[in-house]
Amino acid sequence: MSKKFGFGVLGCGSIAHIAHFPSIAKTEGAELVACCDVSEEQASKAADQWGAKHWFTDHNEMYEKCDGLDAVIIATPNNVHRNQAIGAAKRGLHVVVEKPLAITNTEAWDIVNACREHKVKLMVGCDRRFWTHNQWAKKLIEDGVIGEVLMSRASLHEHWHNYQNHVAHTDFRLDCSVAGGAAISDTGAHAIDLLTWLNGQKVKRVVGVAQRAAMPESYTQCDDLAWAMLEFENGSTAVVHCNRFSHAVSQSTDLWGTEGTIHTATDATNPFQSVPMAVFTNKDYNEEDLPQILKDYRWPQVFWVEDRIHRPLQKRWIPIVPPRSPNNYERMCEHFMGCLMRDEEPLVSGDDGARAIEVMCGVFKSMETGGWVDLPLKEEVVPPHYKPLPKEE
Ligand SMILES: NC(=O)c1ccc[n+]([C@@H]2O[C@H](COP(=O)([O-])OP(=O)(O)OC[C@H]3O[C@@H](n4cnc5c(N)ncnc54)[C@H](O)[C@@H]3O)[C@@H](O)[C@H]2O)c1
């Protein structure tokens, strides 16, 4: 049997256990070789639970001593992403970095440049792109089903307590000197990435607000309310809004085009619909001409009578229920391995991750200037209360 592809996981906390360990276990040809965590207990327990031969408490030691590693997944607190990713790249290891790629724009581009210099693949863990309905939304937009997208919106609202009290293994998120932000960089990281990808555009300029509005400073200094307005290079505009105080979790994305609208909602309940995706198109389709995704997955299927009466089809919201398996993280892991085998650029590239950090830092900058901020930024922007670690040489 050919050699398996060896993964090391850094940070054996909540997302490693929810997403990365199970995905590696389910992906054919992938093998978990090593677990690394500053907590000896977390590292050894994870190795035991998920069948890794080795465990470490220091990433450099893992990089130097561990045989059989091809890639690492970095699922540690945000402030250590830069040094851990660059260290891996220098040793020729391919890298997946959890979102946010980093905290400052300089940190983010340092990671991208190191991976480029050492010719290793870099992917950012923005799993929203791997949800089937978001991939279908992307395809329908590219196929022109909703015309030219002129406006869009993405959101993720979720109370601190939901994740912090029930899922997270540590409280790094509450410490702004380590996490560097919350509504904008934790939940916002997903919304910004999804929106820019679905639009297929780079952000030209940004204006926004990221502030602590709900929780006392004794709980956290991080922002818990964020708005960002983005203008893309093609002139279309978008809004991202996120918070960390809504007890009801809601997450949704809308794209308004000249010929229709698409709504998707990912991993949270949302009050607007009961399906993960809905499409309205103003185009004249007969049943047999419908884009394949709409034909196969719209609900209810009305081919029996309505589709025969209405030619072209009646214009209405079309609810779509995509298959749920394999899940987003399994698809992401399989995709990354495929990129390595075929020498292709991962779907969420390092450049994408760094541009998302530019947007977040642009919001903090616009809080200072009170106006639009052009991207890319001309200097490093360090979010309030964040204390960057020195770059390891
Ligand atoms: N894609 C997603 O939806 C998603 C969800 C959750 C977390 N994340 C990201 O994953 C990362 C980790 O978040 P989490 O919720 O799993 O955190 P967590 O607190 O649950 O776990 C973090 C783990 O990292 C360990 N750690 C801390 N410093 C370390 C270091 N220097 N080297 C090795 N291990 C170290 C801790 O001991 C802990 O076990 C963050 O960047 C976060 O934004 C992404």
DSSP 288: G
Q: Which of 10, 35, 38 for a ligand 1 pocket mutation test, highest count of atoms within 8 Å of Cβ?
A: 38
The rounded percent of the chain whose pLDDT value lies above 70 is 97
- Closest Cα to residue 104, out of 311, 357, 318? 357
Whole-angstrom distance, CA of residue 182 vs CA of residue 75: 16
What DSSP letter does each residue of 298-367 carry, written as one string?
A: BSS--TTTHHHH-SSPPP--EEE-----S-HHHHHHHHHHHHHHHT---SSBHHHHHHHHHHHHHHHHHH
Sheet with 5-10, edge to edge strand ranges: 54-56, 30-36, 5-10, 71-74, 94-97, 122-124
According to CATH, where is 3.40.50.720 located in the chain?
5-128+330-349
Range(s) within the chain of domains with CATH label 3.30.360.10? 130-324
Point out the residues of the chain with pLDDT beneath 50: 1
Superfamily of 5-128+330-349 according to CATH = NAD(P)-binding Rossmann-like Domain (3.40.50.720)
Topology adopted by domain 130-324: Dihydrodipicolinate Reductase; domain 2 (3.30.360)
Ligand 1 within 6 A of CB of 181: no
For 131-188, what is each residue's pLDDT tens digit? 999 999 999 999 999 999 999 999 999 999 999 999 999 999 999 999 999 999 999 9
Determine the distance separating the centroid of ligand 1 and the alpha carbon of 142, expressed in angstroms: 35
CA neighbor of 112 nearest in space, from 359, 358, 351? 351
Span from the CA of 196 to the centroid of ligand 1 (angstroms): 25
Half-sphere exposure of 239 (CA within 13 A, CB side): 9
Q: Give the type of residue at 223.
A: D
* Residue-level pLDDT at 302: 73
Nearest alpha carbon, ligand 1 atom 30: 38
pLDDT tens by residue, 292-330: 999 999 888 776 688 888 899 989 899 998 888 899 999
Residue 1: predicted pLDDT: 46
Name the packing angle between helices 188-199 and 132-142 (round to 10°). 30
What percent of the chain clears pLDDT 90, i.e. is strictly above it?
Answer: 88
Q: How much distance in Å is there from the Cα of 75 to the middle of ligand 1?
A: 5
